[in-house]
Amino acid sequence: MRNRFHRIVRFLGSMRFAIVLLAVLAAACAAASTLTQGQSYAWYAQRYGERTAAFIAALDLDDAFHSPWFIVLSAFLCLDLLLCNLVRVKALIRRTRMFAEPGHLLSLTPECSAWVRQPEKAFPHLNMGIPAQSETDGKSMLSAVRGRAGLWGAWVCHLGILLLILFFSLGQTLEKQYTVYGVLGQSMAVGSTGYIATIDDFRIDKSESGFVEQYTTRFTLRDANGATTAQSAQVSVNHPARLRGMKFFQNSTGWAAKASVTKNGEPLQSQWLCAGEYLEVSDKPGLTVLLSAVYPDYIFVPGAGPKSLSDSPVNPAYLYSVYYNGQLVGMNVLMQSEELTVDEYAVSFSEPSPYTLLQVKQNSFSLFALLGGLITAVGLLLALYVQPVRVWAVSGQDGLWRLFGENRKGGKLFAEAFAKAAEKAQISTPEDGKPNAED
Amino acid sequence: MLKIENTLFTAVMAVYFASMLLYFCFIAFKKDGFARFAVIAQAAGLALHTLALICRGIGAGRLPLTNQYEFATSFAWGLSLVSLVFILRFRFKALGAFAAPVTFLVIGYAAMQSKEVRELMPALRSGWLGLHVSTAIIAYGSFGVCFVLSLIFLLRARVQQGSFLDQHLPDREKLDAISYRASALGLLFLTFTILSGAIWAERAWGSYWSWDPKETWSLVTWIVYAAYLHLRLRRGWQGRAAAVFAVIGFICVMFTYIGVNTLLPGVHSYA
Ligand code: HEM
């Protein structure tokens, strides 16, 4: 039973299983990337037919990267990484400790060896520095090691990937997201956080040719019940701000207008509406007006519909739809000075202004995920660029030394460098003094 | 400045072409002298290419790494740089005969792209973009060289023993070791590319990773090369199998680079 458990753990933490998992994950990602993600069943059915759409729905291929099978695959990858690192850590510590130990070196039979007369000359040629001298089992020994940290490369890399996947998934699951938008001076609650954000400034920087270079918003964050002092910050694209454990991103912009409602000529209500928002007439339940679009410089192009010639509010117009109890009852374009009348109510729009939209995120794990990524990179650097090398020489008969070298990651390149270094150390043989280099 | 860059670009293409012909002559006429001149021509081409990129950067007033043309010419620059480093570091001039056509193909692809300098949308105005794309150039260049080395590896057995080419190509063991170096460089830089891209994406779009097709394919490429490294550690999987895997890896690189932009939609559609 115990044996079986051990075998299963060994398999789940094995490199063989890892290679299979990596191949399956790569194939799954490649396949999923060819299918447009996040569409409705009807969309897939219209494109690919009912049967394919049913297949897509059954396997969650419309949201493949968050589907149960993808999560299970990733979980197995994490388990594999975890077990692999746990199983190997003891041996790795022992290997690191023993790496330069003369007694241990004596027991090794590496692929590179040669008889030489002046072993100390070989060391600098292999970038080994000055070798340490020791006496072991009655034999003199010279030894030097480098790149011991490289032994830990794969382990550190695996740890990094594990942390990256775990924290990223945790972050994605627990992340809270809100949006805050409005025109200059407008305030809005930041989701359910209990904070209120007020837009203090919104600027659109343009180049001489009119191309947008940057969007910048200045805002103030206040506690809804005034328990903490207000804080201000500035955000622009590529320059998010962190306030009260939340990260604010400049996300997008659009047009808004002030909607005013009168009843029998008397002012009833007035509020800002961003394009896409609804106005609910306070006095008349069921009557809503949707501000579909704002055209600051309106023109109607036959065949193409309404358009804006520029971003200057010189000839504003507003596309609206009117609903009564959820039924569309009217839709048209309203110019600045015009009014839309429904019974005794009149709705008009004015002051077309750009609004800013900030994305707000609360994710305490993203920095840890990033740290995992950095650890992965450090691990790769160690694994691939710090080659653990050890070179040692043991005294033999006739004043000759047996020179050994080991670099498991160096392959033929190290073997060649070793042969050259051995030549500098005067290759010889105990019997007849003829050159003899063995790789 | 952009006019100078245009002239320099044409000169770079001519010099790379000359270098490629010299490498071919080296193999065809079996004369070492051609190889020496080919390497000198490649180095000169690379110097001119660097100058051209600098001129483009000054002319555009930003790093020249933000559209198809700029990335293609930079990719060719990366290929030329990494192959030159490998030629010199491993004294392997014959590599040039195989790498130069790939470089020439990529710069040819660049020549077919629009050279117009367009203004950058706000999200692209970031220092992270420079790091993201410049590491990608080295990664792609390294994978390109790894691909060429793997092809040479696969063809190596067919080279007649004792022939001129046989003497100028490392044996299979050494080719395997060199291509491992190239893939290691590529994977390391691809990791930097993905990390810097993720950091930039978070700053610009508020999310480190959104499974955009280009992101997904860079991950596929990363996984393929990670699998390649593991396979190499298993007995019997070095050499031929690893070489075949490296070729598959480069197909993924090229798909990430060109295929994704043309076949799949996503936020990377500008580059
Ligand atoms: C999924 C589970 C994984 C397992 C069980 C696993 C297992 C292993 C094992 C046993 C080794 C040999 C270590 C040694 O020789 O010291 C290794 C090496 C390595 N692994 Fe993994 N690995 C996994 C995933 C990954 C991934 C996703 C990467 C990403 C790049 C990676 C990167 C490396 C590197 C760079 C090496 C060193 C390769 C070399 O020395 O040439 N591993 N892995």
pLDDT of residue A304: 82
pLDDT at residue A439, rounded to an integer: 40
pLDDT higher than 90, residue B49:
yes
Q: Which residues of A touch B171 (CB under 8 A)?
A: 412
pLDDT given for residue B265 in this prediction: 56
Using CA atoms, how far apart are residues B117 and B178, in angstroms rounded to an integer?
A: 39
pLDDT tens digits, A159-173: 999 999 999 999 999
Percent of chain B with pLDDT over 70: 97
Q: Which of A251, A256, A276 is nearest to A177 (CA)?
A: A251
Q: How far apart are CA B203 and CA B128, in angstroms?
A: 9
End-to-end CA distance of chain A: 45
- The residue among A283 and B138 whose pLDDT is bigger is B138
Distance CA A305, CA A333 (A): 11
Structure confidence at residue A433 (pLDDT): 46
pLDDT value, residue A435: 46
Residue B59 has pLDDT above 90, yes or no: no
- CA of A380 relative to ligand 1 center, distance in Å: 9
Of B265, B261, B122, B135, the closest CA to residue B197 belongs to B135
Contacts of B240 (CB under 8 A, 6+ apart): B153, B154
When the pLDDT of each residue in chain A is averaged and rounded to a whole number, the result is 90
DSSP structure class, residue B160: P
Chain B, residues 207-236, CB within 8 A of chain A, namely: 208-209, 211, 213, 216-217, 219-220, 223-224, 226-227, 229-231, 233-234
* CB atoms near residue A38 (< 10 Å): 10
Question: What is the C-alpha to C-alpha distance for residues A244 and B117, in angstroms, rounded to an integer?
Answer: 41
Report the SS3 class of residue A392: strand
Can you tell me the mean pLDDT for B189-210? Answer: 92
Check residue A139 and give its pLDDT: 85
Domain range annotation of chain A: 2-84, 99-147+387-439, 176-362
Contact B181/A at CB under 8 A: yes
Q: Please, which residues bridge with residue B68 across strands?
A: none
Residue A365 tokens read as 């794990």
**What's the CA gap between A291 and A319, in Å, rounded?**
6
Beta strands in A117-160 (DSSP E): 132-136, 139-146
Mean pLDDT of B223-228: 92
pLDDT tops 80 at residue B8: yes
ipTM over 0.85: yes
Q: Which DSSP helix (H) or strand (E) runs through A252?
A: strand A246-263
At B125 the pLDDT is 84
Element holding A415 (H helix, E strand): helix A411-424
Rounded Cα–Cα distance for residues A296 and B110 (Å): 41
**B36 lies within 8 A of chain A by CB:** no
Instruction: Give the pLDDT score at B116.
Output: 81
Query: If you average pLDDT over every residue of chain B, what do you get?
Result: 89
Q: What is the pTM of this model?
A: 0.89
Model confidence at B60: pLDDT above 90: no
In this structure, of A167-171, A218-222, B164-168, the range with the lowest mean pLDDT score is B164-168
Spell out the domain ranges in chain B: 1-119, 127-271
Of B126, B209, B213, the CB nearest to A33: B213
d(CA A113, CA A74): 44
Q: Do A433 and A125 meet the contact criterion of CB atoms below 8 Å apart?
A: no
Contact A56, A48 (CB under 8 A): yes
pLDDT > 70: percent of chain A: 97
Contacts of A153 (CB under 8 A, 6+ apart): A379, A380, A381, A382, A383, A384, A386
Pairwise CA distance, residues A138 & B194, whole Å: 54
- Do A385 and B184 make contact, defined as CB atoms within 8 angstroms? yes
pLDDT in tens, A306-352: 899 888 889 999 999 999 998 998 899 999 888 899 888 999 999 99
CB A114 within 8 A of CB A405: no
> How many Å apart are CA A11 and CA A1, to the nearest integer?
15
Give the dihedral sign, CA B188/B191/B193/B195.
negative
Q: DSSP states of A292-336 as a string?
A: EEEETBEEEETTTEEEES-SSTTB-EEEEEEEETTEEEEEEEEET
For residue B30, name the pLDDT band (cuts at 50, 70, 90): confident
Q: Which residue has the tokens 């995120």?
A: A361
Residue for token digits 């692809």?
B109
CA atoms within 13 A on the CB side of B16: 29
pLDDT in tens, B236-270: 777 788 888 899 999 999 998 887 877 775 544 44
Specify the pLDDT at position B266: 54
CA distances from A195 to A227, A236, A255 (A): 10, 21, 25
Fold of the CATH domain B127-271: Four Helix Bundle (Hemerythrin (Met), subunit A) (1.20.120)
Q: Chain A partners of B120 at a C-beta cutoff of 8 Å? A: 213
Return the pLDDT at A431. Answer: 57
The predicted structure's pLDDT at residue A1: 64
Which pLDDT score, from 0 to 100, does residue B161 have? 84
One-letter amino acid identity for B144? G
Candidates B21, B139, B126, B75; CA nearest to A237 is B126
Structure tokens at A148: 């011991």
**How does pLDDT run across A105-145, given as a tens digit for each residue?**
989 989 899 999 999 999 999 999 899 999 887 889 999 99
pLDDT at site A230: 87
CA angle A267, A268, A272 (to 5 degrees): 95
Confidence at residue A238, expressed as pLDDT on a 0 to 100 scale: 92
Whole-number pLDDT of residue A44: 92
Question: Is A29–B219 a contact, with Cβ atoms under 8 angstroms apart?
Answer: yes
- The predicted structure's pLDDT at residue B3: 81
CB B230 near ligand 1, within 6 Å: yes
- What gap in Å lies between CA A122 and CA A118, rounded to an integer? 8
pLDDT over 90 percentage in chain B: 59
Minimum mean pLDDT range among A224-233, A340-349, B89-98, B199-208? A224-233
pLDDT at B87 over 50: yes
Nearest to A137 by CA among A394, A407, A437: A394
**Residue A380 in contact with ligand 1 by CB distance below 6 A:** yes
Nearest CA to ligand 1 atom 27: B226
What confidence score (pLDDT) does residue A337 get?
82
- What is the DSSP code string of B76-126? HHHHHHHHHHHHHHTT-THHHHHHHHHHHHHHHHHHTS----PPPPGGG--
Taking the C-alpha atoms of residue B107 and residue B105, their distance in angstroms, rounded to an integer, is 6
Residues in B closer than 8 angstroms to A39, CB to CB, are none
Residue A437 has pLDDT above 50, yes or no: no
* A212 token code pair: 């947008």
Choose among B170, B195, B229: nearest Cβ to A377.
Answer: B195
Q: Give A374-412 pLDDT, tens digit per residue.
A: 999 999 999 999 999 999 999 988 789 999 999 988 888
Question: Are B136 and B257 in contact, with CB atoms under 8 Å apart?
Answer: no
Contact B191, A377 (CB under 8 A): yes
